[in-house]
Amino acid sequence: MKETAIEMNKILKEKSDIFYFMLSDFGKNIYMPKGIIVQSAEAKEKATKYNATIGIAESKKMPIFLNSLNKYFNILKPDQIFPYAPASGVQELRKKWKNKILLENSLIKSQDMISMPVVTNGLTHGIMLFADLFLGENDEIIIPDKLWENYNLMFEERYKARVVNYPLFNKKSTGFNVDGLDQAIANSKKDKIVLLFNFPNNPTGYSPTLKEVDEITAVIKKRADDGKKILVACDDAYYGLFYEDDLIDGSIFSRMTGLHKNVAALKIDGFSKEDYAWGLRIGFITFSDFYKNADAYAVLEKKTTACIRTSISNCSLLSQSIFLDIMGGGEVYVKEKIEKFEILKKRANKVKEIVYKDKYKDLWEVYPFNSGYFMCIKPKGTTAEKVRASALEKYGVGTIALGEDLRIAFSSVEYEELDDLFEIIAGVIRELK
């Protein structure tokens, strides 16, 4: 292990033994070298005469750029578009995102309770960075059984960890399976418990109610009291798209801050889904624990930065500059987000009206949904894959088959088309039964 890594680990162990305990082997080994990046940062500050450190090309203190490229942009200046962003992200954007987290999570009462968010190349990259730091081949990760398939590919193939599932919904399929979570932790033979929550959930569109979140928090606290060391990772990709009133206020992440010495937490979120900007690839990862120690958070941020450096070097400056600008933009931006939210909410409510109708009772079971982009049904008397294939081939209707469930993205179907969409799916199931 390199000296710099040893130094970083020493600080982390002293200031947050829980985060230190959670580190994977790679998480322990990785460090930010005091090389080009550090020397360049120093030069940026002090090289007032000539800066010959820079890995880009400059002329007249501006990046050299092609007008052929610059012509695609308004508002932004070339130095907001073309140079490299810092590996950890544009500092001002990180600050703005931190403020947003505080605004939306009333339990996070002060800046020092959480780390500075580090910019990631979209949400998946945030999940990768989490796994880089905390998952290895002897680890388990506990996730509800309705999940994004890429979790398996990432955690099992890339990180050699074991994915342990528990049923997302309780036996009556009325809500979150708190007992299932509790049992999954109890059944683990590991002291190191890694939990992943993804609410609003992909694929089901479910978010826990306030009451359920209280229960989830109580379970985690109880198990931490029993001596389990627990890392809670929150994939908040669809954050904010809550369509009912009794749901979680803020992220589960906010419940973990200061909860227990044996509990550490991280939050993965970003613009992709919240701002309908999937192709711009900007997300964040943020840490929190019981100790709320600035030095420990700094180590985690640095290790995350080194993971970024060794995977993609840095994230798009162009995208970061746009989001930084828009976040300072005020009312129009906020108003527009509310408008788009209302479109999705209206669709979700319409789907609710449709799918529980008596005429469909023999055709499918509906999983609870109240948020996000999707909802799932379980076709009766046939398989989801058969329904998918037939709906597509015969009727030009695209859905996703996931095991026994059919995922329907109401995010991408018009309000006026929803009746017809489900009528077609119902017809297909009737044909197949």
Q: Which of residues 77-96 bind a second copy (CB under 8 A)?
A: 81-85
Selected range binding a second copy among 23-31, 172-180, 193-201, 287-295, rule: CB under 8 A: 23-31
Chain positions 204 to 263 lying near a second copy, rule: CB under 8 A, are none
For a second copy, the closer of residues 216 and 397 by Cβ is 397
* φ, ψ at 265 (rounded to 5°): -145, 155
Smallest distance from a second copy to CB 292, Å: 28
Residue 58 as a binder of a second copy (CB under 8 A): the answer is: yes
How far is Cα 242 from Cα 323, in angstroms, rounded to an integer?
22
Compute the residue count for the chain.
Answer: 433
Smallest distance from a second copy to CB 340, Å: 5
Q: Site size for a second copy, by CB under 8 A? A: 114
Chain positions 318 to 337 lying near a second copy, rule: CB under 8 A, are 318-319, 322, 325-326, 329, 332-333, 336-337
Residue 276 as a binder of a second copy (CB under 8 A): the answer is: yes
Q: 140: which strand partners?
A: 162
Among 47, 103, 218, 294, binds a second copy (CB under 8 A): 47
Whether the CB-CB separation of 408 and 354 falls below 8 Å is answered with no
Residue carrying the six token digits 């009912």: 244
How far is Cα 155 from Cα 266, in angstroms, rounded to an integer?
16
Residue 107 as a binder of a second copy (CB under 8 A): the answer is: no
For a second copy, the closer of residues 256 and 280 by Cβ is 280
For a second copy, the closer of residues 123 and 224 by Cβ is 123
Residue carrying the six token digits 């209206």: 346
In degrees, to the nearest 5, what angle opens at C-alpha 267 toward C-alphas 279 and 32?
Answer: 85
For a second copy, the closer of residues 248 and 315 by Cβ is 315
Whether the CB-CB separation of 147 and 198 falls below 8 Å is answered with yes
- Strand duo 263-270 + 283-289: pairing: antiparallel
How far is Cα 382 from Cα 428, in angstroms, rounded to an integer?
10
Among 7, 14, 57, 77, binds a second copy (CB under 8 A): 57
Whether the CB-CB separation of 197 and 371 falls below 8 Å is answered with no
Residue 431 as a binder of a second copy (CB under 8 A): the answer is: no
- Smallest Cα–Cα separation from 286: which of 426, 115, 126? 115
Residue 433 neighbours by CB distance under 10 Å: 11
Query: Distance between the two ends of the chain, CA-based, in angstroms?
Result: 61
Residue 71 neighbours by CB distance under 10 Å: 8
Smallest distance from a second copy to CB 190, Å: 23
User: Residue 40 corresponds to which amino acid?
Assistant: S
Residue 55 as a binder of a second copy (CB under 8 A): the answer is: yes
Residue 349 as a binder of a second copy (CB under 8 A): the answer is: no
Residue 386 as a binder of a second copy (CB under 8 A): the answer is: no
Residue 302 as a binder of a second copy (CB under 8 A): the answer is: no
Chain positions 135 to 174 lying near a second copy, rule: CB under 8 A, are 149-150, 152-154, 157-158
Residue 187 as a binder of a second copy (CB under 8 A): the answer is: no
For a second copy, the closer of residues 291 and 373 by Cβ is 373
